[in-house]
Structure 1
Amino acid sequence: MLHNPNRVYVFDTTLRDGEQVPGCQLTTPEKIEIARELEALGVDIIEAGFPVSSPGDFQSVVEISKAVKEPTVCALTRAHKGDIDAAAEALQYAKHPRIHTGIGASDMHIKHKFNSTREEILARGVDAVKYAKKFVEDVEFYAEDAGRADIEFLARMIEAVIAAGATVVNIPDTNGYCLPDTYGSKIRFLKENVKNIDQAIISVHCHNDLGLATANSVAGLQNGARQFEGTINGIGERAGNTSIEEVVMILKTHQQLNLHTNIRTQSIYELSRIISTQMRMPVQPNKAIVGSNAFAHSSGIHQDGFLKNRENYEIIRPEDVGVPSASIVLTARSGRHALNFHLDRLGHRLEKPELDIAYKSFLVLADNKLNINDDDLLSLVVPRMVK
């Protein structure tokens, strides 16, 4: 498969894996709205659903296939002919259809989930890819629980499914188990030891059970993967999936990696808000990139350094992800520089003696009030100006 070696494809599964969170079920019109926003964001693949799972999911894949033109529309299946038939039918209107099929790769899953053997599982995976290939050219294969799979067997499986026609091979850390160096090494092993690996794109799909989904995804990309799978805001099963906005901004910030996506990063914040609202899942304030505190400075030392040169404490410009500006939040930990900044914003330029007096009053106020607003600030200076 010919592709730019530095190009990273972004596979969004917000509407499939992300929607598996209890209480986050979306209607078909809501899914279509989000799918159009994802298209505008520049994602390459939208996993629209699991068609065989319910009539609603089937219909959502149908309607999303009609609604978007640029991204590949992907439907998930198990390694069952009935699943693949449903996916093929749901994708009939997609301009760029992909069937995403697969089976467990770890001995844990082979024994305790499928009650089977390695050889039987290998044959079922190959058969699923061959069957899916009858309907679409673009077939992605997932080796579930690859993070805990025997590496030699995993390599055999990946080689066999590529030979059967898989165009993308997904190496999921399904349980969020791997450490970044272990996961990166696993991707590197496949890259170097699967003889037909050049005929497919390696994809990484990581979960956040140990808080390592983003780190593992980046490690996979550093070691040869060229597609990563995730969700906006990192929503998903259990502790969530890889956060798309985090990986995208890591690649943008660390230019030395020489990896790039086609994401229009200025749209990230607005889409984060839309998905948070539609799925009724608040974004934690300290969430990287899109949290309400991500560009808020409250420590006096940080505020002083930021006001002297924003790059002292800002490695990402807020406007690059669609946040209007960084904020200087006034608390009892804030210093004179921050107070002076806000008073100046309100039209009050104080000389040092006046500022010292105002700052003492400010600290008393900040110790007793959680949120300092403009009226509070004006109360520090307006009475003295009236005199």
Structure 2
Amino acid sequence: MTNTTSASAQKDRVIIFDTTLRDGEQCPGASMTFEEKMTVAALLDEMGVDVIEAGFPMASIGDFESVSEIARRVKHASVCGLSRAALNDIDRCAEAVKHAVRPRIHTFISTSPVHMKYKLQKTPEQVLEMISASVTRARNHVENVEWSAEDGTRTEIDFLCRCVETAIRAGANTINIPDTVGYTTPAEYEALFRTVRERVPNADQAVFSVHCHNDLGMAVANSLAGLAGGARQIECTVNGIGERAGNAALEEVVMAIDTRSDVLPYSTGINTKMLTRASKMVSAVTSFPVQYNKAIVGRNAFAHESGIHQDGMLKNTQTYEIMTPESVGVSKTSLVMGKHSGRHAFKEKLKELGYELGENALNDAFARFKDLADRKKVVYDEDIEALVDRGIAAGNERIKLVSLSIIAGTRGPQRATMKIEVDGEVHTEEAEGNGPVDATFNAIHALVPHEARLELYQVHAVTEGTDAQAEVSVRLEENGKVVTARAADPDTLVASAEAYITALNKMQMKRESINPQSVAI
């Protein structure tokens, strides 16, 4: 964790505002259950996140309830709810966050010409009036109010300055100027903050914030440029998940500041050793895989295959690593567990990998580990992570795989015999297909009739070797709703069935809930 001991370090403390549970969840297919949100919020709080944007309370009853419960449970971080510039939205948001240690209302309105004309259908003067009224209403509820200029980087600078001045005068103590569509560049963004802070007379009364989307791949660079322009809050998400191409990645922002303190003289309160754990958890609950070459937390972030690189690493790790694996919570150990390993050793291994499981979850994970160890000669760290992640993501299942048998080979037709449990009742079906995977999915469709369309089917090996676990990703679409699910098993066809069934469970939850409205800032 970065320590801030000197006065200058305290002055340049950067507030980390995590919006994984709000903006991140708006990523198509990345919705989380109530309990998953509680688990992620608890980890963010433990990790040292300053502000947790828990959701958009007006969007649905489910969002309101999850924000309210997170506000009650979080012990250290400020809990924030998002609100449009509508008085009933703000009142609803205030009700949701009122039990937080430091409740915050985050209200926003569009300020760019294109948004005001086509989205809001409001004049600039009407927008200024709405800013004043909404921020005043929010400040009457809580002391901590953030105001955002949606599409701020495409807003005319004179009008943006008037909006910021109006929001601060009405009581906003955090001003966010987001790059909502990922359009700006680092030099432009830095200059924007400098200009606004110089021209707005009451700018010294507020903390300025950045919120960058990654449409052109510059979200992290733009966020850091905003700091150079005077911002002291960064809004980001774990793994960079979010709408379209995503948001600035929390782990990349934090480690850039931590690693390059020579040119980024700032500090955060994040325990960097928990970054990999947070990445794996968010990936598990959203079923969104982390790309192998993802900075900081990707599988290959500390991998070296080139002979030249390996030779350099053996002589001195600093030849090709600018940070240590341990600094972000990555263990160097890989081959220590097997079928003779006991429960205590398994529990210690989980701690080493960054998992803290309750007693029931630990027992379930250990049982699956022993089953896996009986089927594999060597159990790698990645195998253990995959089976634990599978357990984390397996809540609220109405449909469960009981058994699967496949007839496959060159002499078709391929045939799958499947037994599943639906709401406690076991059903069996046999189906043919163009290959064993197609037969498996046809059997599922016969057992659980649905209209969902398979958009993605992807397989990769968790570890090396012919007995490696296969990790399967499945994405389904139905009437505009998209869900993604993953499963891992040494048998590729079992993993395929598990992933498809998990996706169907998620789709069922979407059908039964009121879908949150998508809000972009």
Question: Shared fold by TM > 0.5?
Answer: yes
Task: Find the partner of 1:323 among 317, 324, 330.
Answer: 330
Deviations 1:48-82 (A, max 9, x none): 00000000000001100111121000000000011
Residue 83 in 1 paired to residue 103 in 2?
no
Q: Whole-Å Cα distance in 2 between the matches of residues 114 and 247 of structure 1?
A: 33
Task: Find the partner of 1:171 among 162, 173, 177.
Answer: 177
Letter in 1 for 2:238: I
Residue 138 in 1 paired to residue 144 in 2?
yes
Q: Which residue of 2 aligns with 1:229?
A: 235
Q: Which residue of 2 aligns with 1:286?
A: 293
For residues 49-128 of structure 1, the aligned pairs below 5 Å read 49-128=55-134
Q: Whole-Å Cα distance in 2 between the matches of residues 326 and 243 of structure 1?
A: 26
Give the C-alpha shift of residue 326 in structure 1.
Answer: 9.2
Task: Find the partner of 1:268 among 264, 270, 275.
Answer: 275
Q: Whole-Å Cα distance in 2 between the matches of residues 237 and 372 of structure 1?
A: 33
Residue 239 in 1 paired to residue 245 in 2?
yes
Q: Which residue of 2 aligns with 1:215?
A: 221
SS at match of 2:58: helix
For residues 180-191 of structure 1, the aligned pairs below 5 Å read 180-191=186-197
Give the C-alpha shift of residue 116 in structure 1.
Answer: 1.4
Q: Is the 8 A contact 1:318 1:326 kept in 2?
A: no
Give the C-alpha shift of residue 46 in structure 1.
Answer: 0.2
Deviations 1:236-285 (A, max 9, x none): 00100110110100001111221000000000001110110001100000
Percentage of matched positions with identical amino acids: 53
Q: Structure 1 stretch 187-196 or stretch 247-256: which is displaced more?
A: 187-196
Q: Which residue of 1 aligns with 2:168?
A: 162
Q: Whole-Å Cα distance in 1 between the matches of residues 193 and 293 of structure 2?
A: 31
Q: Whole-Å Cα distance in 1 between the matches of residues 60 and 231 of structure 2?
A: 32
Q: Which residue of 1 aligns with 2:13?
A: 7
Letter in 2 for 1:117: T
Q: Which residue of 2 aligns with 1:360?
A: none
Deviations 1:297-322 (A, max 9, x none): 11111111121111111111110000
Q: Which has the higher helix share?
A: 1
Q: Whole-Å Cα distance in 2 between the matches of residues 302 and 373 of structure 1?
A: 23
For residues 302-381 of structure 1, the aligned pairs below 5 Å read 302-325=309-332
TM-score (norm 2): 0.62
Deviations 1:161-209 (A, max 9, x none): 1011001000000000001100111011112221111111000000001
Give the C-alpha shift of residue 325 in structure 1.
Answer: 2.8
Give the C-alpha shift of residue 4 in structure 1.
Answer: 3.6
Give the C-alpha shift of residue 5 in structure 1.
Answer: 2.2
Residue 205 in 1 paired to residue 211 in 2?
yes
Give the C-alpha shift of residue 214 in structure 1.
Answer: 0.4
CA RMSD of aligned residues (A): 1.7
Q: Whole-Å Cα distance in 2 between the matches of residues 311 and 46 of structure 1?
A: 35
1:211/1:115 Cα in 2 relative to 1: closer, same or farther (>3 Å)? same
For residues 246-261 of structure 1, the aligned pairs below 5 Å read 246-256=252-262, 257-261=264-268
SS at match of 2:11: coil
1:203/1:309 Cα in 2 relative to 1: closer, same or farther (>3 Å)? same
Q: Whole-Å Cα distance in 2 between the matches of residues 160 and 29 of structure 1?
A: 39
Q: Which residue of 1 aligns with 2:51?
A: 45
Q: Which residue of 2 aligns with 1:17?
A: 23
Q: How many residues align?
A: 330
Q: Which residue of 2 aligns with 1:349?
A: none
TM-score (norm 1): 0.83
Q: Whole-Å Cα distance in 2 between the matches of residues 191 and 247 of structure 1?
A: 23
Q: Which has the higher strand share?
A: 2
SS at match of 1:314: coil
Give the C-alpha shift of residue 119 in structure 1.
Answer: 1.2
Letter in 1 for 2:108: G
Q: Whole-Å Cα distance in 2 between the matches of residues 55 and 281 of structure 1?
A: 25
SS at match of 2:84: coil
Give the C-alpha shift of residue 121 in structure 1.
Answer: 0.7
Q: Is the 8 A contact 1:13 1:47 kept in 2?
A: yes
Q: Whole-Å Cα distance in 1 between the matches of residues 180 and 93 of structure 2?
A: 22
Give the C-alpha shift of residue 373 in structure 1.
Answer: 6.2
Q: Is the 8 A contact 1:296 1:326 kept in 2?
A: no
Unaligned runs of 5+ residues in structure 1 are: 328-370, 376-387
Q: Is the 8 A contact 1:77 1:100 kept in 2?
A: yes
Q: Whole-Å Cα distance in 2 between the matches of residues 184 and 129 of structure 1?
A: 26
Q: Is the 8 A contact 1:170 1:205 kept in 2?
A: yes
Letter in 1 for 2:163: M
Q: Which residue of 1 aligns with 2:517?
A: none
Give the C-alpha shift of residue 101 in structure 1.
Answer: 0.2
Q: Whole-Å Cα distance in 2 between the matches of residues 253 and 222 of structure 1?
A: 16
Q: Which residue of 2 aligns with 1:152?
A: 158
Letter in 2 for 1:180: P
